[in-house]
Each structure stands twice: as structure tokens, then as C-alpha cells.
Amino acid sequence: MGPKKPNWHGVLLKVSGLGHLILLVLVLVLSMQVFQGSLQPATTNITRQGSEIRGRNHTERCLISSMMRYFCKPRWDSPAAGAGCKLCPQDWQLHGDRCYWLSKEKGTWTQGKKGCENQKSQLVVLQEKKEKEYIKKITGGGTQPVWIGLMSFLKKWRWVNNTTLNTKIFNALQEMDEGCGTLKDKMLENNLCTDEHKWVCQKDPFQLSPSMAEDGEKCDASV
């Protein structure tokens, strides 16, 4: 018998298997590098976003603190400072718990109602006698009638917030199928809704509270 020939087929299979193993190891190593590279920027972005949010919150708290000291200075150092203060829009007047505004032009009752609604408010709804005295003051002494949020429908006087007229606090008005109310010199009067007068709007003030800013917040003087 002659010499035994090598089994080339088996050798090729072993070499092929080793090559596949090496390729698998390379794929795993490259995948780990790619994963680590993508994870690091994502973590950095999250950290950066968190820092930006904290910075914005800090700025907002400082602004609120500055507003408290500017607008609420009379109360800031008093025991009642914790209650904060109430702010009204420009050209509006604060009285009690509400803001009031007197129109510069005249118009019908409906025009006055829409004018108030355009400013996210309503025609004034009187709740107490002292309120009448204040409106008399801001309307120049009450010599001229001004529209208020009172209207008669089917001989029933109601306010624009759908409450009835309290005749125990205010004077009664003549029954009318249709009519609109004015205030003149602390007295309620009935008028034709098509008459033209100035009007008084009311809205709730903005409540600026110390709770909006954290105690001990360090702020720059320029804020």
C-alpha cells in the first residue's frame, strides 16, 4: 500500500470554522464600541438638558422674587407679606379683590359688554354698597351714568353673571320688558339699551405669591 494522502476536505472545514469564529468575535467587539459611543453622547445630552431646565427655573424664581419686591414693597417687610399681593393690568385700578377699568369712549350696552369681553373681563357686577362709592370715584364723581352689567328681560333684572338684583342692598328698578342698567351717583337707573354711555369692566387680579419663589434663592442684582 502507498502512503496515506492528507484529508484536505477536513482541513478546509476546520479552517473555515475558525474563520467564522474570528469574524463573530470581530462583530461583537465592533458592536460594543458603537454602543458605547452612542451611549456617551445621549448621557451628555440628558445632563445638558437638565442643566438648562434648572437654569430656566432659577431665572423664573429670581424674576418672581424681584417682582414681589417691586410691586409688593409696602407688604414685603410686614407680617402679611406671606399673603403676596394682587396685580391689575395697565390702566386698571385695584379695589378690594377686583380690578376695574373705565372706558374712554361711549357706546351702547351691548358694545360695552363686548368691549369688556374683548379684555377678558365683564361689565361690573355690583356686590356691595362700598363698591358703588368706588365706581362713583373712578367715573369722575358719578355725574354721568355708566353702563354696568345689569339687564332686564321679561321684567326681571339680572346681572351678566346670571344672578338676580338684590333689592335689599340696591335700590329697586322699574319693571321693563327690555332695558339695561346704569349707575349714576350711587343710584341704579334703567335706560334704553341703545343709549350711549361709558362702561365699567371688572376682572380678577393676578395673585403674586411668595410661594412662587423659593426662600433663600440667590439672584443677581441685575435680575
Q: Pull the grid cell for residue 143.
A: 355725574
Q: What size, in residues, is the chain?
A: 223
Closest CA to 181 of 167, 168, 165: 165
Does residue 23 contact residue 31 with C-beta atoms inside 8 Å? no
* pLDDT for position 78: 45
Q: C-alpha distances in angstroms, 192 versus 41, 72, 157, 197? A: 72, 43, 14, 11
Q: Which of 54-58, 196-200, 211-215 has the highest mean pLDDT?
A: 196-200
In this predicted structure, the answer to whether residue 71 has a pLDDT above a threshold of 80 is no
* pLDDT for position 122: 97
For the chain, give the percent of residues with pLDDT over 70.
56
- In three-state secondary structure terms, 160 is coil
Handedness of CA 183, 184, 188, 190 (dihedral sign): negative
CATH topology of domain 88-205: Mannose-Binding Protein A; Chain A (3.10.100)
* pLDDT for position 223: 37
Angstrom distance (rounded) from CA 156 to CA 176: 8
Q: C-alpha distances in angstroms, 40 versus 32, 36, 43, 52, 183? A: 12, 6, 5, 19, 71
132 CB-near residues (< 8 Å, 6+ apart): 126, 170, 183, 186
- In three-state secondary structure terms, 117 is helix
In this predicted structure, the answer to whether residue 47 has a pLDDT above a threshold of 50 is yes
Q: What is the pTM of this model?
A: 0.63
Q: Which of 8-12, 194-198, 205-209 has the lowest mean pLDDT?
A: 8-12
* pLDDT for position 109: 97
pLDDT band of 144, cuts 50, 70, 90: very high
Q: Which of 19-23, 128-132, 181-185 has the highest mean pLDDT?
A: 181-185
pLDDT band of 210, cuts 50, 70, 90: low
209 CB-near residues (< 8 Å, 6+ apart): 83, 84
> Which whole number is the average pLDDT over 51-66?
66
pLDDT band of 176, cuts 50, 70, 90: confident
- In three-state secondary structure terms, 105 is coil
